[in-house]
Each structure stands twice: as C-alpha cells, then as structure tokens.
Structure 1
Amino acid sequence: MAIRRRPVNGHIVLVAAHLPIRRTPTAEESDKHKAMKERIARAAERHGLAAEVEGRSADGKVRSDVLVTGAGGRRIGWEAQYAPISASTVRRRSQAAAGAGVVPLWVTNSDRAALIDRAPWVRVDDFTWKEIASPRTMLVRAGVRHLQRWKCLRTSERPCPETGSSCGRFHAQWMLPALCLPPKPHTDVDRLVVASADGEYLPMRIPNQHDPHSCSRMRVPSGDRDQWLEIVGPGQEPEPPAAEAEDELTFTEQDLDPTCRYGDETFAFNDTRPRRGHAVGTGLHTFDDVPPRLFVIPDLPQHLDVTAAQRWAAAATQSCKPWEVGPCAGCGAPIHRYGAGSRHACESCRTQVNARYR
C-alpha cells in the first residue's frame, strides 16, 4: 500500500493506492546495482583514475555509489539508480553533492525514472547483472547529446524546426548521436566514466523552450559546449530554473473508504508514470546571421580589386566561371568564392587554421 497525490474533481487529494510490484522488495542492494558500481570502478581504475566505491566527500556528509577522481582533481559522483526514487530525493542528494565539490551523475535503465532532467543523468539498456559485469559494450542510450548547427534552406537535410519547411535562418540544437547529420557514434559507459573525469564531457543545462520552470540536462562534449556559448553570446549560460511548484493539497474532510479493492478486475492503473526521456532535439536557438565571433578566418569586405584579364586568369586557375571569382576572407587573393564548390578562404589560409587545431 502507498499514499499518493491524485487529482479528484479539480483538487489534489491523498488516496490509498496499491502500486504494482516492479522489483522484489529488499533492504539490500540489487545485483544490477552492485554490478554497475563494480563496472564503473573497474573502468576508472583500468585507465589510471582513482575510484572509491561508496566514496565520501571531504567532509564525510555526501556519499556516492562510486566516486571517480580525474587527473585534474575533478570528482564525479556516479549514482547507479535501478530502484524507484522520488524527484525531491534526487534534487536533495544532487545539491548536496554539488555543494561538496562533487559533480553528480545518475545512471538509470528506465526512461520513466524521476531523476531524468532533474539532475545530470544518462540512460542505459536494461541488462542483467551478468551482462553488466561482463566485458560486453554498454552504450549510453540517452542523456548524451551533440550540438548541431545548420542553415535552414530548401536543400537542407533537416526540416525547419519552427515552420516545418525552410526559413533561411540559422539553427542550433542539441541532438542524440543517432539523429545527428552525419550520425555520431554512441558513447559507451566505460568511455564516459573516463571522459567525464577528464573534462572531455561536461554537464549542460538548457531551459525548456515552452516551460520556464523546467529544463533539459545532458552530458555534452566540451567542444560543443564552447561552441554553444559562443553562439548564444558570452555570459549567456542559462541560470538554474525556478523550483517546480507542487500542487496545493486539498483536504475534502470526507470519510475514508475502508473497503479494500485489491485484486478487483479494473483497467485503472495506479502507477501511470509518464515517459521523461525523449529523443527530440532540445535547446533550439535561431539566429539571422552568423556572429562574427564564430569566424575562425575574419570576414573581409567583399571587394576584389582586379582587372578583367586578371579575373579571367584566376577563373582559369580555379576552374570556375569568372563571375564566381571573389576575395579570400583571410588574405584577399582571388579564389573560387561563389557558386557550387566554392570556398570561404584559400588553401593556404585554411591550412594555417587547421594546423592550430591539430
């Protein structure tokens, strides 16, 4: 038996409910929980990281299932959550960990878990404890996203997320790896353990576009996070949303119904948890022009001071039409600047830029 809040005639009241048994009640850890903790600790130690099962923070007040410490002192508190848990408990424990200098990271096997988007999280497949403990690859199915940027044209592979056709503007949005263009490989749990401790994957919080009181939480590559902050502008990292307000509880002062209807044939289910993990893109940001701060090669004025003969000679060298010749954005030399197969900069300037990122 349990007591649950339920809307009745427009009011939130307390009702008795028989919850369906989803797992065998036990005071001890489940085999899946123990196997996941062992896998996380094994992956960290195999790559030279310090891992402490049931590790505590420096003040001893916060305990994580597995506390992984990276080379730079970054501490990730992994929480393997296979049992039901309330949203308030997730928030309380996550805030306590963050206050102690530990970055919480919850892992679940259910897309209906209350921890989704209420704390840093990832979702994995529902493997048996033997499969979790084995060397089998365990992919992260949700909770890790990549930044996608594109110009919304009729020839774009993606439809416009705002109009459904094409708007001619620029869009940036966070997508699951399989929905990226081209698709990106899924991150497996073992790699995420190391990448999170090394700072390669960072937590990201994006306010919900339709509900200012909620947000989407995810792990993203550090490079994508830097690009996002450059797109939205310096100092525009979203602030934490306001706490979700709870519905006001109404006491009807009616007599309790002492009749137990457990086992009655009915199509009403007490546990109707909604799916919280969705595959749609999140954090849509639309802008008219590419911000100049995103240009690796500065955009020079669109002017090429050459004679007609020089333009024809450049067109023959670049294998393009004379009217497709324009100035290189880096050095101003005549290049194939416009039309199909054009470039923003010459080969020399692009080689110098690429050398900086190797």
Structure 2
Amino acid sequence: MANGVFHTGHGIEINLTYEDLGNPGYAGLLEEITQPVDQRARNLLQCLKDHRGEPCQCALAGKSPWMFVRRRRSHGQVTWVAAHLPLTHAATPQESDKHKAMKERIARTAARHGLGVETEARSPDGRVVTDVLVTGAGARVGWEAQYSPITANTVRRRSAKARERNIAPLWVTSDDSSALIDRAPWTRVDDVPWQRIVSPLALIIRGGVRHLQIWKCTPSSERPCPTAGGACRMWHSGWFLPALCISQERATALDELVVTSADGEHLPVRSRDPQDARRTSYLWALARDVGRWREITAETGDTHEPGPVDDEPVTYREQELTFGHAPADALLQPLRPVALRLSPRERLVVAAELRCPPWEVGPCMLCAAPIHRYGPRSPKVCPACRMTTSS
C-alpha cells in the first residue's frame, strides 16, 4: 500500500494524506482517481517509485506499475490508500472454452426447468454484464462463470453492482484458490474439460454449499466441543460440508443449484466469525437451515458487506456457535434423504477395500453404492453403472 500516486494525465504527484490531495487547483480530482478501473484508463495512476525510476518491491514481485485507489479501515479510521493493479491476464483457449461451456450448461438447465434465462445480460446503463441471469419464483440469480484469475476487489464490486439491480450474485469456479471464494456467494466444481461441462453427466458441487448441524455437547457426542474442549453440555451449531454431516447429507449437483437458487430453496448466507467480526464467509444453504440458523443466532445472513475492510485472505471456519437451550425442531431428520449411511467401523472397512482414506468414501451418484468418490480424480459412478450407461 502507498499514500501517493503519479497522475499520468495531469503529470502531477498526488498525496493521499491531504484533503486536497496536495493539488488544490484540480477540482474533481478525487472523483477521477477513485472511479472503477474499467471506467478509466488503466495507466492513469502510476507507482511513485516506478515513475521516479526507483526499485519498487511490488513491481519486482510481479505486479504492474499501475495503481488504483480505495478506502481502507485501519485502527478505526478510514483512509485513502493506493495499491498495485495485478498484471492483466488474457484467458487461455482452455479457460475460454470452459467459460463458454459453463454458461451454456447453466442456461440450458434453467430453460429446461421453465426458468427465465438471459445470457450476457446487460445493466440498463450497459456497463455491467452478467454471464447468465436466471429468474425464478424466488430470486433473480446472476451466475458468473469464472475460469480465469480475478481480484477480490473486482468480485466485491461486481457483486455489489448486481445487488443494486436486485440480482443475487452466484460465482462458480473450479479453482480452490480463487480470490472469489468467500468474497461473495460462490460454489466450486471439479476442474474438467469443456466437453465434460456441456455433457449431461452430473457436476457435483465441492464447495460453497453447506448444511446446518445442531448437537448437544455431551461425553457421548460424535463431535468435539468447539469452545471448552470437553463436554460443556451446551448446544452448538455449525455449517458443514455434506460429507462431514452426521448423518451424511447428499451432495448437491450444479444443475440442482441452478434451479433451487432461483426457486428460493437454496439461499445465500454471509456468516460472521464470532471471534473476529471483520472476517466473514459466504455459503449457500437450504432455506430451512437458514431459517433455523437465524432463529438461533439472530443473524440476518444479509449478503451485503458493510463498510471498507482490509483486503486480507479469508479462510472458511466452521462457524460453530453456542446457545443455552435446544431450539425448536433441533432433532428433526435431514430435509433430504441421505444417500449413504455408514458407521465409523463400516467406513473403515470400505476404505480398506477401496484403498482410499475413509473421508473419501462416498455414494455412487446413480445407485448409491459406496465408492472412492471424493478423491482428486475419482469417478462419480461405480464400475457397474459406468458399464450400464456406456452400453
């Protein structure tokens, strides 16, 4: 971060610590330098060190010499700071093909289920383009297929623009290190060729969709106490991946989320870290789970992110919460049927037979037989079903 930039258009140095930016004779200068990068010349603002011919550590580390200006909260105060823009990235042919294939799949799925579909949907002013806009009875969902690198600020800004138009943003990626994760409502699928994306085979969601788990902390609990380290005899709750739920929940397919997010069966949630209110994460969850979570925590789950925060990496935490009484219907059965039920001992036996870790055992997506399901290159169906579908 820096407290000054060089304005290449006016040929002046700008000091961000002064109210007049160190240039009292330039009206509208602040509005000019703080406008979004896609609405002004990328090389408008230059690193002061680079302009002066001095070595810049950021530029030496692979970032561009061009800058952008944003607000930052530090020690309770909001100030203007400048940061380096990333090097531009041209999508490779493989990324472009996957991007087009994902848009086609989302649009095709939505149309097949009678939902409203608009590809390359433009905002009224024409400045914002949504890959696929899906409209259902419950929501207008703006799908963004992201197969190339993107900055966290870009994700936040584009998501905010979508919300201004009453559109729920939903980013889909295959990169588990993408900057979009936890910066907006998101989901992740396996990284597969574009031919696989447009095929009728299921694409299972690996991240971004979670289920609410509620349990009482006793010596016999299957989950450890998230707060005291022992049996505190309080009630806890948390958001968990389907495979880590007790009992295990069925994984959600991408095509299913296309429909349920528009119908309102799945809702986006912004979950705040109870240990650090500035750290938040996003997830999609069943509407019933979201309702129960709101009753327990009094959280609204509003996906609008308030105020400027540090642009720091965000890692998802299990977001376990403690409350003093059992909520109503806490012991209800899961809303959807569980595809595979195995005791810990049975899971170990099956894992030994399949020669894989126990946590990678899962159900065949067609017959629910236990298979090595969750490995990096694991099949989604068992050998018997593959032979049946290929014949």
Do the structures match in fold with TM over 0.5? yes
Contact 1:120/1:217 (8 A) holds in 2:
yes
1:285 shift after superposition? 1.3
Contact 1:207/1:241 (8 A) holds in 2:
no
Match of 2:74 in 1: none
1:170 and 2:235 are equivalent in the alignment = yes
Match of 2:119 in 1: 53
Match of 1:284 in 2: 320
Match of 1:205 in 2: 270
Q: How does 1:80-95 map to 2 (within 5 A)?
A: 80-95=145-160
Match of 1:17 in 2: 61
Structure showing greater Rg: 1
1:30 shift after superposition? 0.6
Distance 1:133 1:171, change over 3 A: same
Residue deviations 1:316-339 (CA, integer Å, cap 9, x gap)? xxxxxxxxxxxxxxxxxxxxxxxx
Residue deviations 1:297-328 (CA, integer Å, cap 9, x gap)? xxxxxxxxxxxxxxxxxxxxxxxxxxxxxxxx
1:128 shift after superposition? 0.7
Task: Please point out which of 210, 220, 224 is paired with 1:155.
Answer: 220
- Equivalent-residue separation in structure 1 for 2:231 and 2:91 (angstroms): 53
- Equivalent-residue separation in structure 2 for 1:162 and 1:192 (angstroms): 33
Distance 1:234 1:130, change over 3 A: closer
Q: Secondary structure at the match of 1:118?
A: coil
- Equivalent-residue separation in structure 1 for 2:311 and 2:297 (angstroms): 32
Q: How does 1:258-269 map to 2 (within 5 A)?
A: none
1:240 and 2:305 are equivalent in the alignment = yes
Match of 2:129 in 1: 63
Contact 2:137/2:264 (8 A) holds in 1:
no
1:214 shift after superposition? 1.9
Residue deviations 1:93-113 (CA, integer Å, cap 9, x gap)? 000010011110000111111
Match of 1:231 in 2: 296
Q: How does 1:32-43 map to 2 (within 5 A)?
A: 32-43=98-109
Task: Please point out which of 205, 212, 216 is paired with 1:140.
Answer: 205
Contact 1:214/1:241 (8 A) holds in 2:
no
Distance 1:246 1:59, change over 3 A: closer
Contact 1:202/1:219 (8 A) holds in 2:
yes
Contact 1:58/1:100 (8 A) holds in 2:
no
Distance 1:166 1:34, change over 3 A: same
Q: Which amino acid aligns with 1:170?
A: W
Considering only aligned residues, what root-mean-square deviation do their CA atoms show, in Å? Answer: 3.2
- Equivalent-residue separation in structure 2 for 1:92 and 1:222 (angstroms): 26
Contact 1:81/1:106 (8 A) holds in 2:
yes
Contact 2:95/2:148 (8 A) holds in 1:
no
- Equivalent-residue separation in structure 2 for 1:231 and 1:32 (angstroms): 40
Distance 1:25 1:50, change over 3 A: closer
Distance 1:136 1:230, change over 3 A: same
Distance 1:110 1:27, change over 3 A: closer
Q: Secondary structure at the match of 1:159?
A: coil
Higher relative contact order (CA 8 A, sep 6+): 1
- Equivalent-residue separation in structure 2 for 1:234 and 1:18 (angstroms): 41
Q: Which amino acid aligns with 2:133?
A: L
Match of 2:143 in 1: 78
- Equivalent-residue separation in structure 1 for 2:130 and 2:206 (angstroms): 23
Q: Secondary structure at the match of 2:188?
A: strand
- Equivalent-residue separation in structure 2 for 1:217 and 1:236 (angstroms): 9
- Equivalent-residue separation in structure 2 for 1:120 and 1:233 (angstroms): 20
Q: Which amino acid aligns with 2:286?
A: P
1:288 shift after superposition? 1.8
Contact 2:160/2:304 (8 A) holds in 1:
no
Distance 1:17 1:237, change over 3 A: closer
Distance 1:117 1:238, change over 3 A: closer
1:59 shift after superposition? 5.4
Residue deviations 1:104-127 (CA, integer Å, cap 9, x gap)? 000011111111111110011101
Q: Which runs of 5+ in 1 are unaligned?
A: 5-11, 248-273, 297-358
Percent of aligned pairs sharing the same letter: 49
1:233 shift after superposition? 3.6
1:18 shift after superposition? 4.7
Q: Which amino acid aligns with 2:255?
A: D
Distance 1:130 1:108, change over 3 A: same
- Equivalent-residue separation in structure 2 for 1:195 and 1:59 (angstroms): 29
Residue deviations 1:159-210 (CA, integer Å, cap 9, x gap)? 1112333111000111111111001011000000000000000010111233
Contact 1:213/1:242 (8 A) holds in 2:
no
Match of 1:310 in 2: none
Q: How does 1:96-115 map to 2 (within 5 A)?
A: 96-115=161-180
Q: Which amino acid aligns with 1:53?
A: T
- Equivalent-residue separation in structure 1 for 2:329 and 2:180 (angstroms): 39
Moved over 6 A (4+): 234-239
Q: Secondary structure at the match of 1:148?
A: strand
Q: Which amino acid aligns with 1:205?
A: R
Q: Secondary structure at the match of 1:204?
A: strand
**TM-score, scaled to structure 1:** 0.64
Distance 1:235 1:99, change over 3 A: closer
Contact 1:56/1:67 (8 A) holds in 2:
no
Contact 2:269/2:301 (8 A) holds in 1:
no
